[in-house]
Amino acid sequence: MIRARGLARTYSTRRGAVDAVRGVDLDVSAGEIVGFLGPNGAGKTTTLRMLTTLLRPTRGEATVAGADLRHDPGTVRRRIGYVAQSGSTAGEARAGEEVIDHALLYGVDRATAAARGRALFAALDLDGLWERKCATLSGGQRRRLDIAMGLIHEPRLVFLDEPTTGLDPQARANLWTHVRALRDDRGSTVFLTTHYLDEADALCDRILVIDHGAIVAEGSPEELKQRVSGDAIVLAATREQDVASIAAVAARLPDATAPTVDGTTVEVRAPQGRTLLVGLLRALDAEGLELDGVELRRPTLDDVFLTLTGRSLRDGENATTSDGAAA
């Protein structure tokens, strides 16, 4: 559905050329939900704006929804839906009219547009808001209206730019349901950017991580977590004098990182840690080492990101709670 090779964008500023995107290769198949993950300024939005014809690539090429991005942007535009971060409806206008007018620009006739619009409003929990002024809608409603705008011409490929930024947790969870329905009920391909790790984790079949204008990793959320960090096993010793021995046993785990000791707890990271846990406990028992407790922490995408880029994806304002203990 998307195939990009060496897609790059350079901005010329007064201080010289700035590589916003240095060269992105990516492939998205039909029916996938792909997350495009990266911190602010990593090149997410620039890449998205290139793929949606809003920005001409400086270098590289891409086929989007079966059409050449450079030579046939008109066909690309007809076939894709784009839900921008900034919204898509005027506060002064009425919700239903905005959706119909948008459909008309795609050559959809008025009657079809109205029928589709009403159906989308029902599917997106916007019932009864057809005649409302957009400015009077709540943040979540207006976001879902943006999605209706992006879907009114029934695109096969939908781009969502940070769809849940600025929404409260309930509205976000609600929107996730609708994004999943895009694929499950409509068979659409979804390409979304986000800087929320839990969002990428919960929604996406596959994740592309972009940093400093290039893709640094890709895979399913599970693959990424396993490949990069491994599970953390935290062992709490009953007796302080056992700590060193416990660490020595833990160090024997295959592919494990060197155990770290903090007071009476020993922490070790190993790929597929949960399958090793039983054996580890038996080995500790055999040596007569007693434990107060054991904790297995699955890696979060934040761990992945930290490992890949050396910095955390979270920034203070959007700190998300990731469910670290979930196994």
Partner 1 sequence: MTATLTAGPATAERRGTFVRDTLTVFRRALRISVRNPVWSVMGLLQPVLYLALFGPLLEPLAPALGAANAYQLFVPGLLVQLGMFGALFVGFGLISEWRDGVIEAERVSPAPRSALVLGRVLRDVLVVLVQGVVLVAVAFLFGLEAPFWGLVLGVLTAALLAAAFASLSYAVALVLKSEDALAPLMNGIALPLLLLSGILLPITAASAPTWLNHVSDVNPIKHVVSGIRAQFAGDIGSTTATWGYAITLALVAVGLWLGARTFRREDG
Nearer to partner 1, 163 or 230 (CB): 163
- Residue 192, classed as helix, strand or coil, is strand
Residue 286-315 contact track with partner 1, rule CB under 8 A, x = bound: ------------------------------
- Between residue 218 and residue 257, which ones bind partner 1 under the rule CB under 8 A? none
Under rule CB under 8 A, which residues in 139-158 are in contact with partner 1?
146, 149
Whole-number minimum distance, CB 82 to partner 1, in Å? 5
Q: Residue 236 CB, nearest distance to partner 1 (Å)?
A: 52
Question: What are the tokens at 71?
Answer: 């030579």
Say how far residue 164 (Cα) sits from the centre of its chain: 11
Q: What would you report as the CA-atom Rg of the chain, rounded to the nearest whole angstrom?
A: 24
Residue 181 three-state SS? helix
- Based on CB atoms, which residue is closest to partner 1, 139 or 293? 139
Instruction: For partner 1, give the closer residue by CB, 159 or 305.
Output: 159
Task: Tell me which long-range contacts 275-281 makes (C-beta under 8 A, separation of at least 24).
Answer: 276/233, 277/233, 280/233, 280/249, 280/250, 280/253
Among 5, 10, 22, 106, binds partner 1 (CB under 8 A): 106
Cα–Cα distance, 64 to 75 (Å, whole number): 9
- Cβ 105 to partner 1 shortest distance, Å: 4
| Stretch binding partner 1 (CB under 8 A), from 98-106, 217-225, 249-257, 259-267 | 98-106
Q: Is 196 in the site for partner 1 (CB under 8 A)?
A: no
Of 72 and 295, the one with the shorter C-beta distance to partner 1 is 72
Q: Which of 54, 202, 283, 296 binds partner 1 (CB under 8 A)?
A: 54
Count the alpha carbons within 13 Å of 79 in the hemisphere toward its beta carbon: 18
Q: Among the candidate windows 59-67, 79-87, 245-253, 278-286, which touches partner 1 by CB under 8 A? A: 79-87
> Residue 248: CA atoms inside 13 Å, Cβ hemisphere, count?
7
By CB atoms closer than 10 A (0-12, 13-18, 19+), residue 280 is buried
Q: Return the SS3 of 7.
A: strand
Which residues contact partner 1 by CB under 8 A? Answer: 11, 49, 52-56, 74, 77-78, 80, 82, 84-93, 97, 101-102, 104-107, 134, 146, 149
